[in-house]
């Protein structure tokens, strides 16, 4: 049990406090800084307890941003923390989008201000966040010798890209800082760097980038207590956020850094979940004790996450060991066991946390916003798609032959996500064993269009692997075919590793393909025809209907659904195998029969009164199944009057993450 403690306010006048913290107020702005002894955060010279909840605009439909902010405020919070995902803003080098849909993080920050909420801005460049490559752009991986999260001397190309990013968003951030009348209290420098390195030069170069670009802070860093103490990964004049930080952790941090303010920068109400795990993680976590100690002590905190949202599209990340082994991809939902569910409703512990925080002096509790209505269609009302188009009939032109002598990952061709097809005629074939090193991350293999089996980098249960002939090794025995069949290896890139030293996680075939037991064909296979298949919104919008070979997996199924009213819903994909779903052209994300997630969130604003299109690409299925519309991510247990899903996982189990583990 944590010990209860009280924090005594520093006896500083407002003027003295501002002078001690080095904060200079502008005429229309506020002063935010730290007391001279580091014990307090100060806003306009008065003690401010930061009661923050994290949510990410990239994971929330724009139409729901205000609703989610209000949900956090109604829980007694006064601040929103948010990651800015660099790779979501700059998918191609030098081409930034800061205004389209969920990328307009500045609009989200302004909404926070309108709702009377402060902001902690976490722009990276690296954020982790269970997001593809931890928010770093995948175009960086095109350089064979790339080094990530290093200073300019160690990799000038990396730091040049970071500089371009900071210089692009800093003019947007600057007017939103508290000193300029905006809601942003602090800007985080990097993220959990103490779990990666100890290069003070790198952190200082990042800080200087912001200063040069006109953002003067205050700044803070984020680390586990053990990491920041061991690796000294705080920055000059900055506060320290602690991952998993308890009240006692804050005291210990202040003992190690006596004049540096500290807060619980990530207080976990749940945990992340990977494909193939037995249940959604973190459902049994109860923050009540930790929150009570923080509130008793007047210490600042950030609930990570108060609302998780959804990894729409191909943006979910992954975890792996530093050598790339033990790869596990994150599921599409980022529900996280948070007090506000993926669809914005109060989770079972929301009310308890709200009552706890609201019981302290000075905390006001606005009404809880009404939930968004839900839409269900089950049984005979559930839509059943029809086979519509084939991936194989919609192949783009192959890449130039001189670029495909050996199989290359998608990043080498400027592709960020989706699929790669590696094609090779095998003249003189009489049987063989195929070896692919290494598949990143899931391959289906065909000879003259006949399915041979699959290769999965993530572990899969035997109940799934055996009937589909999917191996988690690198070798696959090929069956009989003609004397010159075409070998097709279709590779799906799943989430890039977002934590640890294995961040250089390229997608597709990352090394080589060879044959054994193939007579004259033995050895390394070269001279491929390679097709880049991003299978993005533009690709699916241009699909040519028709299926020349209905017995070949890789089929797009399509359903049209007429609605007389819209509502939030979950598409139940439990009758399907592995693939991706679009609704009215928007990518809802991946599904996979190995679970635990079986339903994909579809927000009401992405539906329309009248006709709606559901499009499904399944990598194995030849026949469609119904897609019921459900009201929630999971059904409540029959014995639970509150509908709380009781799971055995906790936030302390799971991936090899030294900070969030």
Which residues of 27-175 form beta strands (DSSP E)?
Answer: 32-34, 41-43, 46-47, 51-54, 79-83, 118-122
Structure-block tokens of residue 538: 């533009």
Closest CA to 513 of 502, 504, 505, 524: 524
Cis ω on the peptide bond leading into residue 125 (within 30° of 0)?
yes
Burial class (CB in 10 A: 0-12, 13-18, 19+), 160: exposed
Task: Tell me if residue 266 is catalytic.
Answer: yes
Which residues of 603-655 form beta strands (DSSP E)?
Answer: 610-618, 629-630
Q: How many residues are present in the chain?
A: 661
Cα distance from N-terminal residue to C-terminal residue, the chain: 19
Q: Which of 90, 130, 190, 192 is catalytic?
A: 192
Residue 301: partners with Cβ closer than 8 Å, 6 or more residues away: 50, 51, 52, 245, 263, 264, 265, 267, 291, 294
Task: Tell me if residue 613 is catalytic.
Answer: no
Q: Which of 54, 90, 266, 293 is catalytic?
A: 266
Which DSSP string do the residues of 286-318 spell out, in sequence order?
--HHHHHHHHHHT--EEETTSB--B--TT-B-E
Structure-block tokens of residue 410: 């998608």
Q: In 376-535, which residue ranges form alpha helices assigned H by DSSP?
A: 462-468
> What secondary structure letter does DSSP report for 367?
P
Q: How far apart are CA 570 and CA 218, in angstroms?
A: 41
Which DSSP string do the residues of 402-423 spell out, in sequence order?
GG-SS---GGGGT--SEEEEEE
Q: How far apart are CA 513 and CA 437, in angstroms?
A: 6
Helix 156-173 with 200-212: angle, nearest 10 deg? 40
Catalytic positions are 192, 266
């Amino acid at each position: 049990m944590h010990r209860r403690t009280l924090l005594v306010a520093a006896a500083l006048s407002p003027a003295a406090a501002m002078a001690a913290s080095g904060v200079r107020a502008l005429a229309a702005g506020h002063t935010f800084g730290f007391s001279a002894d580091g014990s307090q955060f100060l806003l306009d010279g008065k003690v401010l307890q930061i009661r923050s909840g994290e949510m990410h605009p990239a994971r929330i439909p724009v139409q729901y941003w205000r609703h989610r902010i209000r949900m956090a405020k109604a829980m007694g919070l006064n601040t929103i923390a948010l990651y800015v995902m660099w790779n979501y803003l700059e998918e191609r080098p030098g081409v930034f989008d800061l205004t389209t849909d969920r990328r307009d993080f500045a609009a989200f920050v302004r909404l926070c201000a309108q709702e009377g909420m402060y902001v902690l801005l976490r722009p990276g460049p690296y954020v982790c966040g269970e997001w593809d490559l931890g928010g770093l752009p995948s175009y960086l991986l095109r350089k064979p010798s790339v080094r990530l999260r290093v200073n300019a001397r160690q990799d000038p190309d990396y730091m040049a890209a970071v500089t371009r990013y900071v210089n692009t968003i800093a003019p947007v951030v600057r007017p939103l800082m508290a000193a300029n009348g905006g809601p942003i209290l602090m800007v985080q420098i990097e993220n959990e760097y103490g779990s990666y390195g100890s290069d003070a030069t790198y952190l200082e170069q990042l800080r200087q980038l912001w200063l040069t670009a006109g953002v003067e802070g205050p700044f803070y860093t984020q680390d586990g207590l053990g990491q920041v103490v061991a690796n000294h990964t705080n920055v000059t004049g900055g506060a320290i956020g602690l991952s998993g930080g308890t009240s006692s952790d804050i005291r210990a941090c202040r003992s190690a850094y006596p004049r540096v303010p500290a807060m619980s920068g990530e207080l976990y109400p749940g945990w992340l979940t990977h494909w193939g795990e037995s249940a959604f993680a973190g459902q049994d976590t109860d923050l009540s004790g930790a929150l009570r100690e923080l509130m008793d002590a007047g210490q600042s905190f950030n609930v990570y996450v108060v609302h998780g949202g959804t990894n729409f599209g191909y943006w979910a990340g992954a975890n792996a060991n530093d050598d790339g082994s033990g790869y596990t991809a994150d599921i599409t939902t980022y529900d996280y066991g948070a007090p506000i569910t993926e669809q914005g409703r109060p989770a079972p512990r929301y009310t308890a946390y709200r009552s706890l925080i609201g019981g302290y002096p000075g905390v006001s509790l606005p009404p809880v916003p009404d939930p968004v209505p839900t839409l269900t269609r089950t049984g005979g009302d559930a839509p059943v798609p029809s086979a519509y188009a084939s991936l194989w009939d919609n192949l783009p032109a192959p890449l130039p032959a001189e670029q495909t002598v050996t199989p290359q990952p998608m990043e080498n061709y400027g592709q960020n996500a989706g699929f790669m097809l590696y094609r090779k005629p095998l003249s003189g074939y009489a049987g063989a064993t195929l070896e692919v090193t290494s598949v990143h991350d899931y391959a289906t293999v065909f000879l003259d269009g006949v399915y041979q089996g699959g290769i999965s980098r993530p572990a899969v249960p035997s109940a799934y692997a055996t009937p589909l002939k999917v191996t988690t090794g690198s070798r696959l025995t090929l069956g009989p075919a003609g004397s010159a069949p075409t070998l097709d290896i279709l590779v799906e890139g799943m989430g890039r590793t977002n934590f640890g030293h294995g961040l250089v996680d390229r997608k597709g075939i990352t090394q080589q393909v060879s044959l054994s037991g193939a007579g004259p064909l033995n050895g390394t296979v070269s001279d491929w025809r390679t097709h880049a298949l991003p299978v993005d919104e533009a690709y699916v919008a241009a699909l040519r209907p028709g299926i020349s070979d209905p017995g070949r997996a890789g089929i797009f199924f399509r359903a049209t659904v007429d609605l007389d009213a819209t509502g939030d819903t979950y598409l139940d994909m439990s009758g399907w195998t592995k693939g991706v779903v679009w609704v009215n052209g928007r990518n809802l994300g991946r599904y996979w029969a190995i679970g635990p997630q079986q339903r994909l969130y579809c927000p009401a604003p992405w539906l329309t009164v009248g006709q709606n299109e559901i499009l499904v690409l399944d990598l194995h299925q030849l026949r469609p199944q119904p897609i019921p519309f459900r009201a929630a991510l999971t059904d409540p247990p029959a014995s639970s009057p509150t509908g709380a899903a009781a799971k055995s996982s906790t936030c302390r189990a799971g991936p090899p993450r030294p900070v969030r583990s």
